[in-house]
Chain A
Amino acid sequence: MFPQTTLFLLVDDMEPLRRVVRAMLKNLGYTNVVEASSGQLAAQVLEKTFLIGRPVDVILSDWQMPGMTGIEFLELVRTTEQFAHLPFIMITAEGQREQILAAIQAGVSSYLMKPISPAVLEDKLKAVWLKMQQTGVAPGVGTGGASASAPAPAPTPVAT
């Protein structure tokens, strides 16, 4: 699972929703959260945090936003070399199946359907972390304590 030092970027035009997700992350032990109210501002946050040497580790972004939409922001992230591999979790409205498929094809790391529940958020983060381990994408999350360099899991002896 993502280490507690992981830096999250939360993008949503609705302040209450950001507050809700921030509280859920806090419950999971993540207190390093930066917020942005639009895709444009989020891009600036990504840039700045990168320049000061404390880059964002995970992006959680809403789809439906005025100005730059979530999917446009995703495209921007994926086409910027230093952020191309960042875990990007898209937040979509309930029942938006086609939207989710489009997001998957556009390269999200996972999706969250509203209304977001703490348990689902935790499951999704775990799944994304595991997927990163398996594919060997080493994002150097947080202080780099836990590396993602583990190879495909070997048969695990039960007792060691």
Chain B
Amino acid sequence: MSAADTLKNLAIMSDWTLEERLMLAVSMQEVQVPAGTALLSEGQQAEAAYILCSGRLRVLSRGEILGVVDTVACFGEISCLLPETPVSATLVAETDCTAYRIPAQDLNAIAQRVPKLWRALFLQMSDRLKRANKRLAEILEHSPQGFLKLDRNAEVTNEYSTKCIEYLGNNPLSGFSLPELLHPGDAASAASWRSVFAMVFEDFGVPLSDLFDLLTPEARIEANGVLRDLRLQFHPIYDDDRRVVAVDIGIEDVTRERELERAGEAERGRQATLGKIYQNPDSFFTLLRLIDEVDSLCEGMLANLSGAAAPDANEAARLMRELHSLKGFSGNFALAALRHAAHEVETALGRSIAGDADASAGLAAAFAALRSAGAEGRLLKGLIDPSLVQRLEGVVLVPAQLEAMRAALAAGDTVTASRVLLASEAMDVKQLFACWPTDIERLCAELGKAARLEVYGSGGMVPKPVFMALDRVLVHALNNALDHGLEDMETRICAEKAPEGVISVMVEVGSDMLSLQIADDGRGSDFSSVVASARNNPALDQASVDAAVAAGEPWRVLLMPGFSTAGRLTGLSGRGVGLDALAGTIAKLGGQISIDSTPGQSFMLSCKVPLATPAPAGGEGSL
């Protein structure tokens, strides 16, 4: 195609006469542009204009692709005709191209002789502008982010998109202070936001992302009656010397994402709870009984409570113990709300006993919160299949047992019949530790520690009352080992121990005796300092302390009810919290407990519980 023919295909010269086109054609010189070479560079004055004949050109600004051209079109002519007007975009050949080059001075000469050229260029520019505006509007509409440009005073400039009006609720938005829109009614936060934002404009030598990270990345804002979660992204705008002159802020509505996340979390929590219930249903029923007991203890205390007076110490100690169990159990079943409410009551009660009148006055509210959390816990029972509830709450007889019992009863042999009955409800003792691996994982994550469980011994079946009684209190042994026994990873590394602690359980069921040992390889307990701190504690029965020392069993101090409670209230090491409850249960079962420890290395609880004579029904309450 000749130069004059090419010009005929150029839309802006469609009304030029042949003579006018030939005038331009004589200055046109055909050039081959290999793929990858730049024809014009953004920001530089053009020495020539180009008309693309064949091939494909990529139009770029600041590295962003603005478009691709593959039709006959003219480039660089404005920069040629207007002095001090650099080229507005870079043109790079995407494929090998053929183009005509028109030197700037020739173009200027022709422009003087053909005034029509100016009109043509004007039309071309207005067309380009129209298309660019349309495209910009489309991009703003399609982007999930609304954009607003913020000046150095953190005020919205005249540049903001429609989405921002919708999200921030002000129309027009110009002049509004963004920190105040993000922190309505919180002048301190807004001021702090503004001061960090101001630092963006001064070069402190840190990456800008360091400063942006300190600005609110998300905000919950109500606009036009709609509450939204908004996520903010910061994009600095630089001048030619790479100084920040303003900041573009992309605002995205993430309400739906956050809602789904919250719902997902709640659902995962519910699933986790359900899983735990099916895994260890007996333990779940223990939890339900605990909720009831704590409820009635709270109610009793509330009835005797007058104003801001502290509650009765004995009553409080009992409630404290049950709360500790409730905390452990609700944690086991991933019931965060219940655990939190129990913790709050525990804290308030502790402060109240210590003489804090405000805490005493606040007890009723804490009790009420615990009660409603407990009620929610009870509802979980509804999630279990009713026939399963019946089986879990009742006794399951396998057909062979039923047959044996029928035969024994027919023969009048009630001893055999009751033996069958007892055997039918016997429980696998190792089941007591079934939840421990997941509990260890959860508690370790909370405490920033690492530990694993190792279970040894023959195991075996134990009568249900013994199982249920132990199930309620063994959680204290685990909590103690994890919370107070095992050190955190850094401390363990420093002490040249393996970073991961080991909790080992040894369980043997003999013909008439259950023997149980729970040990950890943590920091252990120094009995002499335990005794020393007990001596300084007026709340403790010093005669019992003396007796324990005289008997050569100083560790008994750890099992004294006052020791743990007082220790916790005064902020001393809490080693022994809840162990009194464990010791009490073992004693009720007619068993024995002892503690052995090597300071810095290990702590071991040993229990022996007789199995031959199960606790008589209706005896010492429901164990």
A15 partner residues in chain B, CB cutoff 8 A: 493-494
Interface band, chain B? 20 to 34
Alpha-carbon gap, A150 to B257, bound state (A): 41
State the Cβ distance, B186 to closest chain A Cβ, in Å.
15
B60 partner residues in chain A, CB cutoff 8 A: 155, 157-158
B35 partner residues in chain A, CB cutoff 8 A: 159
Alpha-carbon gap, A93 to B324, bound state (A): 31
- Of listed B61, B203, B207, residue having the most chain A CB within 10 A: B207
B196 partner residues in chain A, CB cutoff 8 A: 101
- Among the stretches A38-46, A53-61, A128-136, A141-149, the one at the interface with B is A128-136
In contact, B205 and A157 (Cβ under 8 angstroms): no
Residue of B nearest to A107 (CB): B205
Q: Mark B296-330, 1 if CB is under 8 A from A, else 0.
A: 00000000000000000000000000000000000
B206 partner residues in chain A, CB cutoff 8 A: 104, 108-111, 131
State the Cβ distance, B561 to closest chain A Cβ, in Å.
37
Q: Mark B229-245, 1 if CB is under 8 A from A, else 0.
A: 00000000000001000
State the Cβ distance, B94 to closest chain A Cβ, in Å.
7
Residue of A nearest to B490 (CB): A16
In contact, A105 and B242 (Cβ under 8 angstroms): no
Alpha-carbon gap, A158 to B56, bound state (A): 14
Alpha-carbon gap, A104 to B214, bound state (A): 11
B392 partner residues in chain A, CB cutoff 8 A: none
Alpha-carbon gap, A95 to B61, bound state (A): 40
> Per a CB cutoff under 8 Å, which of A19, A124, A127, A153 touches B493?
A19
* Interface assignment of A14: CB less than 8 Å from any CB of chain B: yes
In contact, A158 and B65 (Cβ under 8 angstroms): yes
Residue of B nearest to A151 (CB): B242
Alpha-carbon gap, A156 to B65, bound state (A): 10
* Interface assignment of B210: CB less than 8 Å from any CB of chain A: yes
* Interface assignment of A97: CB less than 8 Å from any CB of chain B: yes
B494 partner residues in chain A, CB cutoff 8 A: 15-16
Residue of A nearest to B209 (CB): A127
Known: A97-B214, A109-B205, A110-B210. A159 touches B490 (CB 8 A): no
* Interface assignment of A36: CB less than 8 Å from any CB of chain B: no
State the Cβ distance, A94 to closest chain B Cβ, in Å.
12
> Per a CB cutoff under 8 Å, which of B63, B94, B205 touches A155?
B63
Known: A107-B205, A127-B207, A128-B207. A159 touches B489 (CB 8 A): no
* Interface assignment of A80: CB less than 8 Å from any CB of chain B: no
User: Within B7-37, which residues are at the interface with A (CB < 8 Å)?
Assistant: 35-36
* Interface assignment of B58: CB less than 8 Å from any CB of chain A: yes
A101 partner residues in chain B, CB cutoff 8 A: 195-196, 199, 214
In contact, B210 and A127 (Cβ under 8 angstroms): yes
Alpha-carbon gap, A104 to B489, bound state (A): 31
In contact, A131 and B205 (Cβ under 8 angstroms): yes
* Interface assignment of B211: CB less than 8 Å from any CB of chain A: yes
In contact, B61 and A155 (Cβ under 8 angstroms): yes
In contact, B493 and A158 (Cβ under 8 angstroms): no
Known: A155-B42, A157-B92. A104 touches B207 (CB 8 A): no
* Interface assignment of B90: CB less than 8 Å from any CB of chain A: yes
A157 partner residues in chain B, CB cutoff 8 A: 36, 38, 60, 90, 92
Alpha-carbon gap, A130 to B206, bound state (A): 10
Alpha-carbon gap, A14 to B203, bound state (A): 32
* Interface assignment of B424: CB less than 8 Å from any CB of chain A: no
In contact, B92 and A16 (Cβ under 8 angstroms): no
State the Cβ distance, B447 to closest chain A Cβ, in Å.
14
State the Cβ distance, B475 to closest chain A Cβ, in Å.
29
Known: A101-B196, A107-B205, A155-B60. A17 touches B242 (CB 8 A): no
> Per a CB cutoff under 8 Å, which of B36, B42, B43, B211 touches A104?
B211
In contact, B205 and A156 (Cβ under 8 angstroms): no
Residue of B nearest to A120 (CB): B213
Alpha-carbon gap, A107 to B60, bound state (A): 37
In contact, A104 and B90 (Cβ under 8 angstroms): no
> Per a CB cutoff under 8 Å, which of A14, A123, A155, A158 touches B41?
A155
Alpha-carbon gap, A159 to B595, bound state (A): 75
Q: Mark B62-89, 1 if CB is under 8 A from A, else 0.
A: 1101000000000000000000000000
State the Cβ distance, B42 to closest chain A Cβ, in Å.
5
Q: Mark B48-66, 1 if CB is under 8 A from A, else 0.
A: 0000000000101111010
Alpha-carbon gap, A130 to B210, bound state (A): 13
Residue of B nearest to A113 (CB): B213
State the Cβ distance, B142 to closest chain A Cβ, in Å.
22
Q: Mark A78-91, 1 if CB is under 8 A from B, else 0.
A: 00000000000000
User: Within B406-441, which residues are at the interface with A (CB < 8 Å)?
Assistant: none
In contact, B207 and A156 (Cβ under 8 angstroms): no
A159 partner residues in chain B, CB cutoff 8 A: 35-36, 58, 92, 94
* Interface assignment of A51: CB less than 8 Å from any CB of chain B: no
Alpha-carbon gap, A17 to B489, bound state (A): 11
> Per a CB cutoff under 8 Å, which of B38, B199, B207, B489 touches A131?
B207
In contact, A104 and B94 (Cβ under 8 angstroms): no
Alpha-carbon gap, A93 to B205, bound state (A): 21
Known: A16-B490, A110-B207, A160-B36. A104 touches B199 (CB 8 A): yes
Alpha-carbon gap, A79 to B90, bound state (A): 45
* Interface assignment of A119: CB less than 8 Å from any CB of chain B: no
Alpha-carbon gap, A124 to B207, bound state (A): 8
Alpha-carbon gap, A54 to B127, bound state (A): 61
A97 partner residues in chain B, CB cutoff 8 A: 214
- Of listed A14, A101, A107, A123, residue having the most chain B CB within 10 A: A101
Complex A-B: 6 CB contacts under 8 Å? A16-B489, A101-B199, A104-B199, A108-B205, A135-B203, A159-B58
| Nearest 7 pairs of A and B residues by beta carbon | A127-B207, A16-B490, A156-B63, A157-B92, A131-B207, A159-B36, A16-B493
Interface on A for B, CB 8 Å cutoff?
14-17, 19, 97, 100-101, 104-105, 107-111, 123-124, 127-128, 130-131, 134-135, 152-153, 155-160
